[in-house]
Chains A and B, each alone.
Chain A
Amino acid sequence: MPVAICVFMSANTHIGDFTVRTLSRRHQRILNRAEHVLIGLSPFNGYYKPRLVRDLVAWGHHHFDRTDVFIPGWETAHTLTGAGMSPRDAVHRSRRAAKRLRNAAVDALRSCGDTEPHTRVHTSTTLASRGAYTRLHERVRTEYARDPVVRAACRETAREALRTHCDGQPSEQQVDLAVSYPLAELPLILDSPAIFATESSVVVYHRELGPLTPLILGRSPTVWPVAGQGFAVVTPPPTALERREG
């Protein structure tokens, strides 16, 4: 398995086709262990189309011992209410977006031969039945109130999310509303091995997490990723059209 990943990581490979980029050698080593991958999907931006979800899940299934998928939970509604939408509309839109991602992920897992695909697709709500997740979530909420690094990372992430839904710079009050979303996802980049009961785990996403990068690299004095926590940016190969256009 690890060999396949290494081959796979070189550019323009044929099997799996994705480009994988890590932020540090430690993350690279964890990636090469290939024990567990958590594929993060995000709503609203139209990036995670069913075909891409299917390919990503197939890639995970092929190269890692275990594959789980995370789709954002009810906290995404706070980004929408922060951007001015009514709570009722925000919840309905969030639920619809999550349902689309969930259906795509479940179909993808099923087509990989997974007989219990629903158990492999998670949200911040479903993970709250796991003590490891709720303890970490409580911890990051506490540190958000007193650690400037955590606070800045979460607020900037919330601000970025808000910018995609409203014109101009979001106000601090809007950020207050939307910050629950990064806080709900932070446990997954700090200790996904504990949450998924594995020694090592790589969280993959289609782009770097920008303002959360200092936390991924362990720059906070209060919360940092465990030894088995990895992060990688995974992007699909360019389409034939994109290749032609250079």
Chain B
Amino acid sequence: MSRVDDFSPPLRYPFALGPHGTPPPVIAWARKHHPVCPVLLPSGQQVWMVTRKDDITRLLTQPVFSRDLVYPGAPRFVGEDFTAVPGGIFNLDGADHARIRHILAPHFTPSAAARHTEMIARHAEGLLDAMETGLNPADLVEAYAAPLPLRVSCEVLGIPLEQRAAYLDAFRTQTSLVVSAADVAAATAATLDLTEQIIKAKRADGDHNGPLGALVGAEAEGVLSDEELHGTASYLLVTGSEPLVPPLATGAVTLMRHPDQLNACVAEEELWPQAVDEVLRYHHNGVLGLPRVATEDVTLHGVRIAAGDGVCAPMLGATWDPRHYRHPEKFDIHRSGDMSATFGAGPHFCLGGAFARVFLTTAYAALFRRFPDLFLAVPEDDLPWQVDIQLIRPARVPVCW
């Protein structure tokens, strides 16, 4: 692991993680010494990184920092990933963003998310049945944490599992940090191909159910353009499942590493929502957060961020900010405070936040109800954390019961 005195700006992303999937130590260093810190991305571009919670909130709520990266030369991690897709809700600001969000919002409210509980539990139980009758020890990622989000997301979006599974490599390439810019662009194009197939099928079936159906229906009514339909639908495909793998896998590891708190949840299932909130504070699913771009010059902590500069806000900077969370390095399911910060702030507050909470609550409860004595089959220091993707996740979690 890097020592604190090893760091010097500009930092090079990706950063070395802390132990057990905790935030890279460089984030705490930057928060203390360089609250606006230059970072070199794998693409060769340089962006600013802000790491204090108050600054991050400003960044996410002020219109001067735009999400519109749909132009040549925009800051990218590697290449033209989904931030380059025109019309995607992620890439829009102001009224256009609000108009599309208004179409999707009813499908992502807490009560809409809660309606999926039974479906999530059904898929969880199916996977746990197979795990229980298979090899013991087993890899929790392969048996549960990877397939469950995909199955659930396919149901939510109303698309066949096989069709989407065939494009998994494209989704993964879009978040990879060790592929070429051309690979990322090709993966984005492949995802748009899949999006086109799905939209075509939904149009043919007149299927206006679920978030994708709502987008198709809204396009038919002229509420959004064809470009916005495709861009936003492809965004939902990218973000619907893979980003849920990290908290499911990493959270399970952290819970097993804190058996007292895990046992409390197993004994009293009402504690799961609190545990989920703390997992989400403790482990964001990614490190740096996709860039925004300044639309005019801004000075922050004496650093001039020029118009056109990219700025990143690692949510782990906010959720581990000791000014807001006492002993942030302590995993404590009984913690109070702002437990939504992991989902961001402002107009782009994570659309799927309520859904993620319902998903994880249901998934953890099912897993540990089935295997209350689940334990790691390897030393915790052996767990392999993937270093080549934007997400923080273990490649494997061997477990025994």
Contacts and interface: CB of A to CB of B under 8 A. Distances in A.
A77 B384 contact: no
B378 A87 contact: no
A66 interface: no
Interface string A69-81: 0000110011001
Contacts of A73: 378, 382, 398
Interface string A81-123: 1000001101100110001000000000000000000000001
Nearest to A180: B135
B386 interface: yes
B137 A74 contact: yes
A87 B398 CA distance: 12
B366 interface: no
B377 A77 contact: yes
A88 B382 contact: no
B349 interface: no
A134 B178 CA distance: 15
A24 interface: no
A125 B398 contact: yes
Interface in B355-401: 377-379, 382-388, 395-396, 398, 400-401
B136 interface: yes
Given A91-B377, A95-B378, A126 B384 contact: yes
A123 B385 contact: no
Contacts of B379: 95, 99
A74 B378 contact: yes
Contact of A125 (B383, B386, B400): B383
A131 interface: yes
A131 B178 contact: yes
A131 B384 CA distance: 11
Given A77-B137, A77-B377, A126 B382 contact: yes
A128 interface: yes
Contacts of A129: 384-387, 395
A158 to B, nearest CB: 13
Given A77-B377, A88-B400, A125 B137 contact: no
Contacts of A134: 395
Contacts, number: 53
Interface in A187-214: none
Contacts of A123: 378, 382
A128 B395 contact: yes
A51 B170 CA distance: 49
Contact of A127 (B135, B136, B378, B384): B384
A226 interface: no
Nearest to B384: A129
A73 B400 CA distance: 14
Contacts of B398: 73-74, 125
Contacts of A87: 136-137, 400-401
Contacts of A94: 377
A233 interface: no
**Residue among B383, B387, B395 having the largest count of chain A Cβ atoms under 10 Å:** B395
7 contacts: A73-B382, A81-B135, A91-B137, A91-B400, A94-B377, A126-B384, A128-B396
Interface of A: 73-74, 77-78, 81, 87-88, 90-91, 94-95, 99, 123, 125-131, 134, 177, 180
Given A123-B378, A128-B384, A177-B135, 11 more contacts: A81-B136, A91-B377, A91-B400, A95-B379, A99-B379, A125-B383, A125-B396, A126-B382, A129-B386, A129-B395, A130-B384
8 A-B pairs with the lowest CB-CB distances in the bound complex, closest first: A129-B384, A128-B384, A87-B136, A128-B395, A74-B398, A91-B400, A74-B377, A128-B396
